Amino acid sequence: MSQSLSRWQAILLGLVVVLSLAVGVFGIARIAHKQGLWAETFELTAGFPEVHDVTLGTPVRIRGLDAGQVVGIEYPEQDGPGAEVTLRLRLESRFANRLYADATAQIQTSGLLGSRVIAVHPGNPERGILTGGRLRGQKPFNLDEAVAEVRGTAAELRGLANEAKELVKDVRESNGTMMKLLRDDDLYQDAKALISRADHAIGTLEGEVSGLRGFVQDGRETLRSVRQGTDALGKMPIVRNYVENSVELLVRPNHHRTSWMYKTGDLFEPGTATLSYEGQVHLNNLTHSLKANGHKQADIVVAAFWDPSDKTQTPASALELTRRQAEAVIAHFKICNVHKIGTFSRRKLTPLGMGISPSPVVEVEPLPCCAIQVLLFTPY
């Protein structure tokens, strides 16, 4: 014979069931968060000669913080010197713009049980944001190899010391050319006279250089006047809408400058302004870093440069080609909605074809001969 529950017993049972469900959902959410199932992520690769005990799900840490996990292990296509096992790493998107061009990855041991983790060092911000999506794998520290290297170095030092002793002994016991040069006073006098004549020649040369410096200064003044006229013309209404001042676009002391550099051949079909499939993949990976900057006054400049030693292009054709390449990159960014920073807000995207002209900025990492440079300027 069954007995029905009282009202308070039913309420209590219902609370227990709801609480159990809540605890279960909370546990599932924590596990999903730990695995990065609901977080925005991006992928990188890292190459290592060997990946002992690394498996799918191995944690990835940046400066000791959990940042993602290993989602793929790919054996090299060909064995041989330099062959590497490639690890695919899935990281949280908040670290996308915190990894730099010299970032490295290393397989380390964690905990008493010796479990493996992938430790990522973000690198130096002065080298610019990481491009290409691949980290340089560092070989883990090996005590046996270190001891062997120290022993080898010690042996080399002993050999050099013995050679130095033999050389000193030969000089002391020799009466040949070496000892004559060391003891001959006439050699000192000849050297002194040679130095005196060199001083006189340098004084004469300095006078000639001084006159040349004045000539160069006059030329600079003339060029400065021409430049002022050109700048004034470029600032006139209507005209200024069609004139891009590369120096004003690329040199901005009151902005924070973030740069990504690509070889032209990595983005475009050879000698064209048509993006290759690999180039579109590179740009798609870059859009995550660009979208991460939500500053409403930040803007993007895409500058394209061509190799001045390329005999297949004239200065005019190189200028037109680089202009079209910069416009192609901007068009792809717009397809990826890089210019949208809100429902109605849009960020400015500017293409800049430089032709064979060099960049007016001294880059920390020199630009390739043919290069595409994506620049994000954020006001201080």
Hey, CA dihedral for 221, 223, 229, 235, is it positive or negative?
negative
Helix, strand, coil distribution of the chain in percent, nearest 5: 45, 20, 30
> Domain check: are 251 and 358 in the same one?
yes
Does residue 270 have a pLDDT over 80?
yes
Name the domain count of the chain.
4
Provide the 3-class DSSP secondary structure of residue 259. strand
Which structural domain range is residue 199 located in?
186-240
Q: Is residue 66 part of a domain?
A: yes
Token pair belonging to 91: 């990281």
> Domain check: are 323 and 255 in the same one?
yes
pLDDT band at 113 (very low <50, low <70, confident <90, very high): confident
Q: Is residue 20 part of a domain?
A: no
Residue 265, classified by CB atoms within 10 Å of its CB into exposed (0-12), middle (13-18) or buried (19+), is: middle
**CA distance to 251, 283, 372, per residue, from 363 (Å):** 11, 21, 13
What is the pLDDT averaged over residues 149-167?
75
Q: Is residue 250 part of a domain?
A: yes
Provide the 3-class DSSP secondary structure of residue 304. strand
The Cα 22–Cα 29 span in angstroms is 10
What percentage of the chain reaches a pLDDT higher than 90? Answer: 48
The Cα 246–Cα 284 span in angstroms is 26
Does residue 311 have a pLDDT over 90?
yes
Q: Is residue 9 part of a domain?
A: no
Residue 135, classified by CB atoms within 10 Å of its CB into exposed (0-12), middle (13-18) or buried (19+), is: buried
pTM, entire model: 0.41
pLDDT band at 32 (very low <50, low <70, confident <90, very high): low
The Cα 56–Cα 117 span in angstroms is 11
pLDDT band at 241 (very low <50, low <70, confident <90, very high): very low
| Under 8 Å between Cβ of 228 and 334 | no
> Domain check: are 212 and 150 in the same one?
no
> Domain check: are 375 and 257 in the same one?
yes
pLDDT band at 147 (very low <50, low <70, confident <90, very high): low
Token pair belonging to 215: 């000539």
Q: What are the strands of the beta sheet with 299-305, ordered from one edge?
A: 255-263, 371-379, 299-305, 349-353
**Least confidently predicted of 54-58, 172-176, 316-320, 349-353:** 172-176
> Domain check: are 63 and 94 in the same one?
yes
Higher-pLDDT residue of 257 and 111 is 257
Instruction: Give 92-103 pLDDT, tens digit per residue.
Output: 999 988 899 999
Half-sphere exposure of 327 (CA within 13 A, CB side): 9
Does residue 253 have a pLDDT over 90?
yes
> Domain check: are 99 and 162 in the same one?
no
In this structure, the number of other CB atoms found within 10 A of the CB of residue 348 comes to: 11
> Domain check: are 254 and 200 in the same one?
no
> Domain check: are 62 and 174 in the same one?
no
Does residue 377 have a pLDDT over 90?
yes
Q: Which residue has the tokens 């090996």?
A: 142
Does residue 238 have a pLDDT over 50?
no
**Least confidently predicted of 199-208, 323-332, 355-364:** 199-208
In this structure, the number of other CB atoms found within 10 A of the CB of residue 71 comes to: 16
The Cα 128–Cα 219 span in angstroms is 37
Q: Is residue 5 part of a domain?
A: no
DSSP letter assigned to residue 268: B
Half-sphere exposure of 189 (CA within 13 A, CB side): 4
pLDDT in the model for residue 240: 47
pLDDT in the model for residue 86: 94
What percentage of the chain reaches a pLDDT higher than 70? Answer: 77
